[in-house]
Amino acid sequence: MTRVACIAGARPNFMKIKPVVDGLEALGVKVDLVHTGQHYDAAMSDVFFEDLGLRPPDVHLDVGAGTHAETTARVMVAFESWMGTNPVDAVVVVGDVNSTIACALVAAKAGAVVAHVEAGLRSRDWDMPEEINRVATDRVSDLLLAPSPDGVENLRAEGYHDDQIHLVGNVMIDSLLANVGRASAGGHLDELGLVAPFGLVTLHRPSNVDDLVVLAGLMSALAEISVGLPLVFPVHPRTRSKLESIDLPSSIRLLPPQGYLPFLALQSSARLVLTDSGGIQEETTALGVPCLTLRENTERPITVTEGTNRVVGTDPSAIVEAAREVLADPPEPRCPALWDGRAGERIADVLVERISDGSALRPTDDR
């Protein structure tokens, strides 16, 4: 029987790995669901398994928190130990977190087929740790599973073999489409005491929240926007302590981290989302909700060219101006091709076919 390890390590991974696990198991594949423990508390991890209906992991590596180097090293050591007694045909890694590159490196050295879901995404910003993880993971992968045509174009420009590259669609949207009805019907807004209209905010990137000058500027822009549109801000753990030194108006309501379904309900009901998250750029595109990305770049440009996203940077005046424009004239909803809820099935088909015929190719130096 074909045996595949599917890796999840941090909050964004859980929504991405669920459709892959379902697709593989529907084809009769033995799936080992490996949770590295990179996000280790219930608010950031366990609740997403519950909300998504994702079965408990077969393996929990319990690596916990640490620096980038510490986390990557712990995952590599723990995953290598597990693979030593659990040989698999392939390892599926998703996204761009430290667990992604760590398990990809171990699997490649062990001789397993490595499949990277969300391959080819590029911000071209080497100050982002995620960009380094993306590029390095693609380099050691056999199968490059791109969510959108720009990912395919990036991989081809970098010289990868055509038979490595597969345009499969977006697994995040698989999970969204499977759950948005439940989220909307779940009474989550009532439980939070929220009444529309409101805007939704998320901030977690170090470049935005670790620099208090940048964070204060962002919050001043949000305070001005909230005069006309109350804002709801589920606060990432890395951000909460930073906000203690900033005086916020009552029109910005801070919430604890939300589970997948409550957060999906917030997104789908919001008039505007302001974020620095890559995944939220995609989800708001699928939902048709206007999104302003508070970064200087995006690795998901299709959400701008074929979605509802605008990249506005971190200048407070530019953010306020963009918010006023979007609220006055919302973008028409648009959703990219293959963001149709079947990406997990396509990934499973590609992976099983390549394992069966043994033709997966890792990039070589003569690309």
- pTM (global) more than 0.75: yes
Cα–Cα dist 321/265, whole Å: 26
CA dihedral 205, 208, 209, 211 (to 10 degrees): 130
Residue-level pLDDT at 39? 67
pLDDT at site 240: 85
The mean per-residue pLDDT over the stretch 262-279 comes to 97
Residue 359: pLDDT band (50, 70, 90) is low
Given this model, what pLDDT does residue 43 score?
53
* Residue 361 binned pLDDT confidence (cut-offs 50, 70, 90): low
- C-alpha distances (whole Å) from 334 to each of 176, 187, 331, 339 are 16, 27, 9, 11
Over the stretch 296-348, which tens digit does the pLDDT of each residue have?
999 999 999 999 999 999 999 999 999 999 999 999 999 999 999 999 999 99
Output the pLDDT for position 47. Answer: 76
Confidence (pLDDT) at 133: 97
Domains belonging to the chain, first-starting first, are 3-170+339-357 (3.40.50.2000), 180-328 (3.40.50.2000)
Q: Which residue has the tokens 């309900």?
A: 265
CB 138 within 8 A of CB 340: no
How does residue 256 score in pLDDT terms, banded at 50, 70 and 90? very high
pLDDT of 367 reads 42
pLDDT of residue 236: 79
Kindly list the catalytic residues: 204
Give me the pLDDT at residue 362, please: 57
**What is the identity of the amino acid at 126?**
W
Which one-letter amino acid corresponds to residue 128? M
| Percentage, residues of the chain above pLDDT 90 | 86
- Residue 35 reports pLDDT greater than 80: yes
Edge-to-edge strands, sheet with 143-146 = 59-60, 30-35, 3-8, 90-94, 113-117, 143-146, 165-167
CA distances from 331 to 241, 301, 334 (A): 35, 16, 9
42: pLDDT strictly greater than 70:
no
Alpha carbons 27 and 19: distance in angstroms, whole number: 13
Contact (Cβ atoms closer than 8 angstroms) between residue 36 and residue 9:
yes
**Average pLDDT of the residues in 204-227:** 95
Q: Which class for 227: exposed (0-12), middle (13-18), buried (19 or more C-beta within 10 A)? A: exposed
For 70-125, write each residue's pLDDT tens digit: 999 999 999 999 999 999 999 999 999 999 999 999 999 999 999 999 999 999 99
User: Average pLDDT in the 196-225 region?
Assistant: 95
